[in-house]
Structure 1
Amino acid sequence: MARFIYTLAVLTLLPWAILHLLWRARRQPEYLRHWGERFGMFGAVTPAPSHEGIPLRITIWLHAVSVGETRAAQPLVAALRQRYPDHRILFTHMTPTGRATSEALFGDSVERIYLPYDTPWAMRRFLHHYRPQLGFIMETELWPNLIAACRQEKIPLRLVNARLSQRSARRYARFPALTREALRGLVAVGAQSSDDAMRLEALGAQDIRVTGNIKFDIAVPDAQLALAREFRLRYGKRPVWLAASTREGEEVLVLDAWKRVMRSGIPLRDGAGDTAALLVIVPRHPQRFDEVSRLAAERGFVVQRRSDDTPVAPSAQVLIGDSMGEMFAWYASVDVAFIGGSLLDFGSQNLIEAAACGTPVVIGPSTRNFAEVAREAIACGAALSIGDADDLVTQVNVLLADAERRRQMGDAGRAFAAHHRGATARTLELISREAR
């Protein structure tokens, strides 16, 4: 009965979903593409890629909602390819940026589509069309009709790299019967932390193991390190700090706080000279690149953009990182990194990549999405916590003036990332022998 009521609600909301796609397409025209997939309508099955001349079967399916989940899947994809070299991999996404990320990371070696909206018939068409032998949902996306369809078709589905904040747990707890049915339809759950496992178990999940965070297993690509060196040459000798994956409303706070410091006559500088620091802002969502560039210019900053593909002018004060797939390079090229999504109540973005690059991390008060990771990074000295934008600018200024402390934080970050590796191997232990 709970799932029947849920299905009626989904049907009622489908017209709104269409309006939502049209609204989002104002900024991201990609939302106008592949609509049929979102409603369970697929064309002919594309010819399967081959391995040593033998066609690969589509048997392994990973659902990664957007950018973060897709990037997190990299070590798992590599491990699955090694274990099942004769199997084809299918990605499903919900956002154009997630789809673009899988294309940038994996190219034509995987197939990618949008996951249909969660109606029983659309999910059945999806499963009958692609016929996966096993599936993985990255992090936490519970689609009751999808899970029920997998169970009916005897397709083992696992929730991996699972995380569940207290806020999300409270939301799921409002629909106890529906949530319990969905969680018990999974054959196994690999949780990032003991806190995540406890909250999932309280909601009804079974066969839960704490496998850790797969994001710790992502190696810094050599190409990104080379690009970081190129970025560093473009900056010149000036100190550089990064506001990474910022969300709407945060850039204004950061820019205004920096402006106040600069007007006070104490601009951000390194400890040895009088070269004013460069602020790099990389917004979380690409449709906001123009908006953030405009916000900086309106405040009187001299703005340059990554897409200019030229050395940063000595007069430039703000560089907008208007690129996709270069976050490792940004982290590895700067002296200090602030993690966006943490200054306002967004729950924070992932700090693991910055720590793995050996870059000192500054993080705001909102860390619910990565609460345990943030606590441990702060405790080991890889990161420090700030309360607001003025505190952020003050602490960044202190770090830029103290090379030894930056070195210590960077070393702590690398050690922190290395200590937590191994989640991919533990996740693979959740798989029996369904894919053969």
Structure 2
Amino acid sequence: MTRTLYSIFFTLCIPLILLRLIYRAWRAPAYARRWSERFALGGDVRQGGIWVHAVSVGESIAAAPMVRELMQRHPDLPITITCMTPTGSEQIRKLFGGQVGHAYLPYDLPWLQRRLLRKLKPRVGIIMETELWPNLVAECERAQVPLVLANARLSERSARGYQRVSWLVKPMFAALDWVAVQSQAEALRFSSLGVDKSAMMVTGSIKFDFRPSAALLAQAHALRKNWGERPVWIAASTHAGEDEQVLRAHQVLLQTLPDALLILVPRHPERFDSVARQVSDAGLLQVRRSQGGSPAPTDQVLLGDTMGELVMLYACADVAFVGGSLVPNGGHNYLEPAALGLPVLSGPHRFNFTEINDLLQGAGALQLVNDSQGISEALLTLLQDSKARKQAGDAGLAVVAANQGALELLLQGIEQRL
């Protein structure tokens, strides 16, 4: 009965959802394409294999090692990856090309999820992290599709939100066949929401199993070589309200290190142009990565306004600031720069990655900063002290190495359900 009320409410909201989609398409034209897939029509859906859902860019990148292993171990099983955003879709295409099927996940109405599952007929469904929808889970249970929640994470904040609608979500959590959870603290939160302890394993985060490819590192080395010996730092996945602070920190840094280069990578592509204007308004000379140019000695900012190149740009830097953390977004993946041996800076809002943040901070690999002044002070120390930089970078590499192995545990759990 509760899910029926949810479905009725969702149906009534469809006009508002479509208006929001139109608004997003106005800001980011990619949202105007492939609308039919949001109603389970069209898309490159491959039947009778493995279905993976990765909501957006971060989840797609996290899923990539798992998907590659599944392709290698089960070459006879087609794989289809669904997502929710154009940036996630572009990332999937960049990672896999035509090797996998791909479509948007439809809106969470029972007849739409049923239509998708009839087309997919998957032997197993794998949802990355915590992208759960009541009708999606219920229809998988109805169609007897085993459902795995992979690399599952649940912050205290998210758990409190779910508890407020426990009448709706507890049956959803209870219906999951297996949950591969990142930490013991998160396992307790999942258990309180209805996941059976026998259907859950603490595997750690598969993001620790991230290994940059030799080709990517070679590309980064070739790009960085063109810039000479200048100090380089990156501000990655920044949100509105952070770019101003990053640019102020860079202006202060330039007073001591006038040849320093900032690689600024906004989180969302619809902000690329507005951030470029902010850089110009700050009086800083910039080059845009999308235009294919290399920073001249006089350029002070490289704007990373492309998709799928973040890890490569990390590999070009000496120090990394991870965005979404100066504003209350909860931070982004700290393990990518750590796995590349970079000292990491984060703002105080890191609730999406609390356990990973604590591990890196405890090892001396990550430093918390509260504002532009904190960023500039930390940068001056690290960029002028190669020994301190290497010590922090090595500490991050050690944390990553010590926590690897989650991917193999996850794959073993998936194998049991195929």
The match for 1:229 is 221
1:249-268 equivalent positions in 2, closer than 5 A: 249-259=241-251, 261=252, 267-268=255-256
Question: AA paired with 1:28?
Answer: A
The match for 1:117 is 107
Task: Provide the rounded CA distance (Å) in 2 between the counterparts of 1:279 and 1:31.
Answer: 30
Q: Is the CA contact (8 Å cut-off) linking 2:250 and 2:262 kept in structure 1? A: no
Normalising by structure 1, report the TM-score: 0.92
The match for 1:51 is none
Report deviation, 1:315.
1.3
Question: AA paired with 1:363?
Answer: S
State which of 423, 426, 429 in structure 1 corresponds to 2:406.
Answer: 423
Unaligned runs of 5+ in 1: 49-56, 270-274
Q: Is the CA contact (8 Å cut-off) linking 1:336 and 1:359 kept in structure 2? A: yes
Task: Provide the rounded CA distance (Å) in 2 between the counterparts of 1:114 and 1:311.
Answer: 35
Question: AA paired with 1:15?
Answer: P
- Listed one character per residue, the Cα deviations across residues 258-311 of structure 1 (whole Å, up to 9, x for unaligned) are 33x26xxx7242xxxxx5311110111122111111101011111111123233
Unaligned runs of 5+ in 2: none
1:238-317 equivalent positions in 2, closer than 5 A: 238-259=230-251, 261=252, 267-269=255-257, 275-317=258-300
Task: Provide the rounded CA distance (Å) in 2 between the counterparts of 1:432 and 1:318.
Answer: 47
Counterpart secondary structure, 2:98? helix
Report deviation, 1:383.
1.2
Task: Provide the rounded CA distance (Å) in 2 between the counterparts of 1:154 and 1:20.
Answer: 34
The match for 1:138 is 128
- 1:324 and 2:307 equivalent? yes
Task: Provide the rounded CA distance (Å) in 2 between the counterparts of 1:356 and 1:391.
Answer: 24
Q: Is the CA contact (8 Å cut-off) linking 1:74 and 1:218 kept in structure 2? A: no
Moved more, 193-202 or 62-71: 193-202
- Listed one character per residue, the Cα deviations across residues 384-431 of structure 1 (whole Å, up to 9, x for unaligned) are 111222111111111111010001111111111111111111112323
The match for 2:154 is 164
Task: Provide the rounded CA distance (Å) in 1 between the counterparts of 2:216 and 2:306.
Answer: 13
Counterpart secondary structure, 2:162? helix
Report deviation, 1:191.
0.6
1:17-416 equivalent positions in 2, closer than 5 A: 17-42=17-42, 58-206=48-196, 207-259=199-251, 261=252, 267-269=255-257, 275-416=258-399
Q: Between Structure 1 and Structure 2, how many residues are aligned?
A: 416
Q: Is the CA contact (8 Å cut-off) linking 2:287 and 2:294 kept in structure 1? A: no
Question: AA paired with 1:430?
Answer: G
Question: AA paired with 2:334?
Answer: L
- Listed one character per residue, the Cα deviations across residues 124-181 of structure 1 (whole Å, up to 9, x for unaligned) are 1110112111101100011111111111110001111011111111111111121110
The alpha-carbon distance between structure 1 residues 383 and 268, as it changes in their structure 2 partners (threshold 3 A), is: farther
Report deviation, 1:216.
1.4
Report deviation, 1:74.
1.1
Question: AA paired with 2:195?
Answer: A
Counterpart secondary structure, 2:226? helix
Question: AA paired with 2:206?
Answer: I
Task: Provide the rounded CA distance (Å) in 2 between the counterparts of 1:434 and 1:174.
Answer: 32
Would you identify which runs of 4 or more consecutive aligned residues in structure 1 move more than 6 Å? none
Task: Provide the rounded CA distance (Å) in 2 between the counterparts of 1:325 and 1:432.
Answer: 29
The match for 1:53 is none
Task: Provide the rounded CA distance (Å) in 1 between the counterparts of 2:208 and 2:416.
Answer: 26
Q: Is the CA contact (8 Å cut-off) linking 2:259 and 2:297 kept in structure 1? A: no
Question: AA paired with 2:118?
Answer: H
Percent identity at matched positions? Answer: 45
Report deviation, 1:28.
1.6
Counterpart secondary structure, 1:429? helix
Report deviation, 1:432.
4.9
Q: Is the CA contact (8 Å cut-off) linking 1:364 and 1:387 kept in structure 2? A: yes
Task: Provide the rounded CA distance (Å) in 2 between the counterparts of 1:72 and 1:249.
Answer: 26
Task: Provide the rounded CA distance (Å) in 2 between the counterparts of 1:157 and 1:70.
Answer: 18
- Listed one character per residue, the Cα deviations across residues 93-129 of structure 1 (whole Å, up to 9, x for unaligned) are 1000001100000110001101110001001111011
Moved more, 228-237 or 239-248: 228-237
Counterpart secondary structure, 1:137? strand
